Structure 1
Amino acid sequence: MREGSATAYHLAQVNMAHALAPLDDPLLADFMAKLDEINALADRSPGFVWRLQSESGNATDIDVSPDPRLLINLSVWDSLESLFGYVYRSGHAEVMRRRREWFERMSGPYVALWWVPAGHRPGVEEALARLEILKRDGPTPRAFTFKQHFPSPSGRGGDLTEREVEEARCT
């Protein structure tokens, strides 16, 4: 976990996924085998600040609904560009390409981004509320996407190139 940052705001992200099977099912064996590696990659990625995790070191055992196959990923980054680099330009991109092998196609928004004051650690309820805002209102400064993003309240950290936005559309 990295605490120091020169910016007044950080970027929070939530990503929900519904597994095709229980986590101990052979169908998810490859995903589960990669999870620690991908989390470690996030932890050492430029701009990483924090991620939700239990004592197990990941968030797969954090209950977000009565359905145990509904998983949450919640993290904080120092900028939109840092998160984008991790998601689309690191080893994480391989996992993204294979997600249909392990997860159902979600109806409605399953990823939301929003700015938080530096030092704030969003909880599950806050993250679920941001997904609901995105579903209800579409992208706004309160909840947005890589494709339709907003700068931080300090005016920094929201400048993806057109090529990067197109890259996000293709996934």
Structure 2
Amino acid sequence: MELAQLNIAKAKGMMDEPLMKEFVDNLESVNAMAESSEGFVWRLKDESGDATAIQAFDDPLQLVNMSVWHSPDALKGFMYMTHHISFMKRKKEWFEKLSEANYVLWWIPKGHIPSIEEGKARLEYLREHGESVYAFSFKSRFEPTDLNTIKTA
């Protein structure tokens, strides 16, 4: 099993606005850092190399990011032990604070590439039902072996 993650963010401006310039200018290097991180498997991207132009929601300012990792520790390593952390600390400069969960984790079979709809459904499930092995956050430590207890609506 591998770990899928989806996270969303509402940008404070369109990607071509000056407010978003520093964020956009660093996308390529942060994405390259992710791809070279230990435990990285896959990330959502279009022909431009990132996912900022992928329209997953009606609101064009609502961005989606998805990736697959070997483990929660691999994902956390990228998030908190690389230069990525400096951008996370500055997210208030570029993104609105969301009132609901903005990311979700779930286990997938090795080799499976999750769809955006799959990720959105997992996030919605987490928002409606809370933490479970079906849809969880870093607050919970569900393991693939917990999948045999899965109960979904």
Task: Tell me which interval the TM-score lies in, with the shorter structure as reference length.
Answer: over 0.9
TM-score (norm 1): 0.84
Greater alpha carbon shift after TM alignment, 135-144 vs 146-155: 146-155
Match 1:123 to one of 111, 115, 127? 115
2: distance between equivalents of 1:145 and 1:122? 17
Alignment match, 1:51 = 43
CA contact (8 A) 1:14 1:111 kept: yes
- Aligned partners of 1:153 and 1:35: how far apart in 2? 35
Offset at 1:109? 0.7
Q: How many residues align?
A: 147
- What is the TM-score of this pair, normalised by structure 2? 0.93
Identity of aligned residues (%): 45
What 5-or-longer segments of structure 1 have no aligned partner? Answer: 1-8, 156-171
Partner-residue secondary structure (3-state), 2:16? coil
Q: How far does the alpha carbon of each residue in 1:14-47 deviate from its partner, in whole angstroms, 9 at most, with x for none?
A: 0100000111110011100110000000000000
Q: Distance in 1 between matches of 2:89 and 2:27?
A: 15
Find 2:101's aligned residue among 93, 96, 109.
109
Secondary structure of the 2:108 match is strand
Alignment of 1:81-92 (within 5 A): 81-92=73-84
Q: Distance in 2 between matches of 1:116 and 1:153?
A: 12
The match for 1:68 is 60
Structure 1 stretches of 4+ with a deviation exceeding 3 A read none
Tell me the residue number matched to 2:89: 97
Equivalent residue letter for 1:30: E
Quick one: which of 127, 133, 140 aligns to 2:132? 140
Which of 12, 18, 23 in structure 1 is aligned with 2:15? 23
> How many angstroms apart in 2 are the aligned matches of 1:51 and 1:153?
24
Q: Secondary structure at the match of 2:97?
A: coil
Please tell me whether the aligned partners of residues 115 and 153 of structure 1 are also in contact (alpha carbons under 8 angstroms): no
